[in-house]
């Protein structure tokens, strides 16, 4: 039986990678999906993929760093489907891979603006709407970089620790009002972002698979669909007693 029949789900950064896989999984589990991304072509493709598989989806272009745009995104969900039950705040950027002392203020601010501020703005707007609905479930995309450090990625690490902190705080504040908030912390996942990090770290000498697979005890990198499975489960009633958690989905990386 589908986990989210008749629910309405929102996914930011849904034009590719984990976001797209999550939007497709929400639809597979019976939800009507609001697909959001700055990348219009990618977002519209995700929405069309959902419709081709028999699901319901609407695409809207949204900049998660703009409070007015985020509020408009929530209005789109409510105007289109009448409510908002689930949300996955996935939009994020990686920034440059450089030494701490060589990190620029501009790069730091750009990464924090999308990953930390963007998650905050989405959480705030989603919670406001879910309070009107009588509850809901939200999953934020953090990273194993929100649990441990990574040389060369100071702004990204800081931003993902912030995501995990926002997750815990929102869960504490709104648990009694029927809103659960969790984060997932992926390890190396087969996405454009991982390819970009590998290219920067090795100067293009190694693929993301060659560089990252040996670092995971499970012996490989993950697939976006594997992260999506966890996200959608956390948004379902099957995870009704799970909130405030920062859950690794990392092939054992942080267990080392």
CA geometry: angle 197, 203, 208, nearest 5 deg? 40
d(CA 176, CA 202): 48
3-state secondary structure of 41: helix
Give the number of domains in the chain.
1
Rounded Cα–Cα distance for residues 180 and 137 (Å): 5
The two beta strands, 179-186 and 136-141, are: parallel
pLDDT at 137: 98
Confidence of residue 1 (pLDDT cuts 50, 70, 90): confident
Average pLDDT on 173-194 reads 93
**pLDDT, position 148:** 97
Residue 114 has pLDDT above 80, yes or no: yes
Q: Identify the CA nearest to 25 among candidates 67, 66, 53.
A: 53
Q: Is residue 1 part of a domain?
A: no
Average pLDDT of every residue of the chain: 95
pLDDT band at 210 (very low <50, low <70, confident <90, very high): confident
Task: Specify the pLDDT at position 207.
Answer: 66
Known catalytic residues are 156
Q: Is residue 129 part of a domain?
A: yes
Tell me what the mean pLDDT of segment 120-140 comes to.
98
Choose the weakest-confidence range: 59-73, 88-102, 230-244: 88-102
Q: How much is the pLDDT for 211? A: 76
Residue 198: pLDDT band (50, 70, 90) is low
Is 48 a domain residue?
Answer: yes
pLDDT value at 226 more than 80:
yes
Question: Can you tell me the distance from the alpha carbon of 137 to that of 1, in angstroms, rounded to the nearest whole number?
Answer: 19
Task: Examine residue 197 and state whether it is found in any structural domain, yes or no.
Answer: yes
Each residue of 88-113: pLDDT tens digit? 999 999 888 999 999 999 999 999 99
CATH of the domain at 119: 3.40.50.720
- Residue 79 included in any domain: yes
Tokens 């040389």 identify what position?
A: 151
φ, ψ of residue 12 in degrees (nearest 5): -90, 155
Q: Is residue 2 part of a domain?
A: no
Residue 3 belongs to a domain: no
pLDDT of residue 77: 97
Q: What is the pLDDT of residue 94?
A: 87
Q: Give the pLDDT band of residue 5 (cuts 50, 70, 90).
A: very high
With 90 as the cut, is the pLDDT of residue 245 above it? Answer: yes
DSSP assignments along 186-251, one per residue = E-SBSSHHHHHHHHHHHTTSS-HHHHHGGGSTTSS-B-HHHHHHHHHHHTSGGGTT--S-EEEEST
pLDDT band at residue 195, thresholds of 50, 70 and 90? confident
Structure tokens at 56: 């319901």
Which range has the worst mean pLDDT, 147-151, 155-159, 180-184, 206-210? 206-210
| 252 phi-psi bin (left φ>0, alpha ψ -120 to 50, beta other) | left
Percent of the chain whose predicted confidence (pLDDT) is above 70: 96
Q: How far apart are CA 86 and CA 74, in angstroms?
A: 11
Q: Which structural domain, as residue segments, surrounds residue 228?
A: 8-255
């Amino acid at each position: 039986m589908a986990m989210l029949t008749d629910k309405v789900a929102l996914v930011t950064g849904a034009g590719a990678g984990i976001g797209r896989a999550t939007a497709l999984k929400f639809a597979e589990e019976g939800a009507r999906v609001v697909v959001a991304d700055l990348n219009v072509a990618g977002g519209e493709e995700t929405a069309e993929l959902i419709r081709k598989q028999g699901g319901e989806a609407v695409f809207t272009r949204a900049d998660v760093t703009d409070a007015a745009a985020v509020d408009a995104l929530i209005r789109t969900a409510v105007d289109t489907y009448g409510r908002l039950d689930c949300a996955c705040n996935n939009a994020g950027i990686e920034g440059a891979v450089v030494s701490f002392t060589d990190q620029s203020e501009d790069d730091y601010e750009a990464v924090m603006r999308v990953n930390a501020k963007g998650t905050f703005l989405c959480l705030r707007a989603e919670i406001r709407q879910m309070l009107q609905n009588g509850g809901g479930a939200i999953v934020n995309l953090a990273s194993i970089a929100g649990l441990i450090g990574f040389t060369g990625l100071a702004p990204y690490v800081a931003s993902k620790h912030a995501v995990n902190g926002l997750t815990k705080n929102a869960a504490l504040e709104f648990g009694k009002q029927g809103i659960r908030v969790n984060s997932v912390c992926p390890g190396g996942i087969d996405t454009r972002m991982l390819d970009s990090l590998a290219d920067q770290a090795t100067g293009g000498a190694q693929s993301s698979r060659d560089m990252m697979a040996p670092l995971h005890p499970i012996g490989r990198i993950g697939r976006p669909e594997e992260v999506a499975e966890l996200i959608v489960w956390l948004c379902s009633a099957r995870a009704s007693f799970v909130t405030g958690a920062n859950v690794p989905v990392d092939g054992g990386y942080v267990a080392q």
